[in-house]
A = this chain, B = another copy of it.
Amino acid sequence: MTDLAAPGGKARLFVETALHEGARVIPGAQQSHYLLHVMRARIGDGVSLFNGRDGEWLARIAEASRRDCALMCECRTREQEPDCDLWLVFAPIKKAPVDYLAQKATELGVSVLQPVFTRRTVVHRVNSERLRANAIEAAEQSGRLTVPEIREPVELARLQSEWPHERHLLFCDEAGGLPILDALAGAPPTPWAVLTGPEGGFDEAERAAIREHRSTVAVSLGQRILRADTAALAALAIWQARFGRVSAV
């Protein structure tokens, strides 16, 4: 009876089922394949489970066939804890960078991924399932207790008209703004969203409308031209360094 070693520790799976002592959990087809054929799990092996609500649980493989398995929850290993309240609002970019963006943004603690269509956005379809799959995998590997919510894409104008005013919008403006750490220095810690544009940037009318919006804090990420996904990740990392809770150890 061993604990399955994944890179960084025991196998760790996100499931939808409620988790409590004695709960029986049936992993999805891909998760079962991963446990049985990648990790070569056997009956009695330990797996970590989380569902975004009930903390993290040690479960053991109770039944296994060639294709399926069932897990039994044994004990809670971590209490559920409040997450960062940090959205990423981003203009969709091509497939490989958006996979990467979903993965990295999840590692960097975003709670919501909100695609937004702008005038220069050249990607007009967002595969939400694919974004979610990337986010789940990153959450499993990063030790998060939640998976970010993937929202349906909206037009920029609608996003702005329906924006919850108390949420600060950290606008990474290619045309300049306060240096980001100066802008965050005196700012309240919550709630926030990071907004990044498409590969060609926002157009002038969009920029003006964003800058005029009362929730906007326009910032500069420096003098180099960053790709859209780099700008998003840089802003999230800097926000976390300023406001994120830091481990005690």
Which of A's residues lie within 8 Å of B, judged by CB? 7-8, 100, 103-104, 107-109, 141-144, 175-176, 179-181, 199-200, 220-227, 230, 233-235, 237-238, 240-242, 244-249
In the assembly, what is the distance between CA of A234 and CA of B237, in Å? 5
A177 to chain B, nearest CB (A): 9
Other-chain residue from B104, B200, B241, B248 in contact with A7 (beta carbon distance below 8 A): B200
- Copies, count: 2
Contact between chains at B222 and A109 (CB < 8 Å): yes
For A224, the chain B residues whose CB sits under 8 A away are 107-109, 142-144
User: Do A247 and B222 form a contact, CB below 8 Å, given A233-B237, A234-B240, A237-B238?
Assistant: yes
Contact between chains at A142 and B226 (CB < 8 Å): yes
In the assembly, what is the distance between CA of A183 and CA of B181, in Å? 15
Contact between chains at B8 and A108 (CB < 8 Å): no
For A179, the chain B residues whose CB sits under 8 A away are 241, 246
Contact between chains at B233 and A247 (CB < 8 Å): no
For A143, the chain B residues whose CB sits under 8 A away are 223-225
For A180, the chain B residues whose CB sits under 8 A away are 241
For A181, the chain B residues whose CB sits under 8 A away are 181, 241-242
For A175, the chain B residues whose CB sits under 8 A away are 249
Contact between chains at A223 and B246 (CB < 8 Å): yes
For A220, the chain B residues whose CB sits under 8 A away are 246-247
Contact between chains at A230 and B176 (CB < 8 Å): no
Contact between chains at A247 and B176 (CB < 8 Å): yes
For A7, the chain B residues whose CB sits under 8 A away are 199-200
Contact between chains at B245 and A223 (CB < 8 Å): yes
For A223, the chain B residues whose CB sits under 8 A away are 143, 244-247
For A242, the chain B residues whose CB sits under 8 A away are 181
For A245, the chain B residues whose CB sits under 8 A away are 222-223
A212 to chain B, nearest CB (A): 19
Contact between chains at B234 and A108 (CB < 8 Å): yes
- Scoring A100, A109, A221, A247 by chain B CB atoms within 10 A of each residue's CB, the highest score goes to A247
In the assembly, what is the distance between CA of A55 and CA of B195, in Å? 33
For A227, the chain B residues whose CB sits under 8 A away are 103, 107, 141-142
Chain B, residue nearest A237 (CB): B234
In the assembly, what is the distance between CA of A199 and CA of B240, in Å? 22
Chain B, residue nearest A138 (CB): B227
A113 to chain B, nearest CB (A): 16
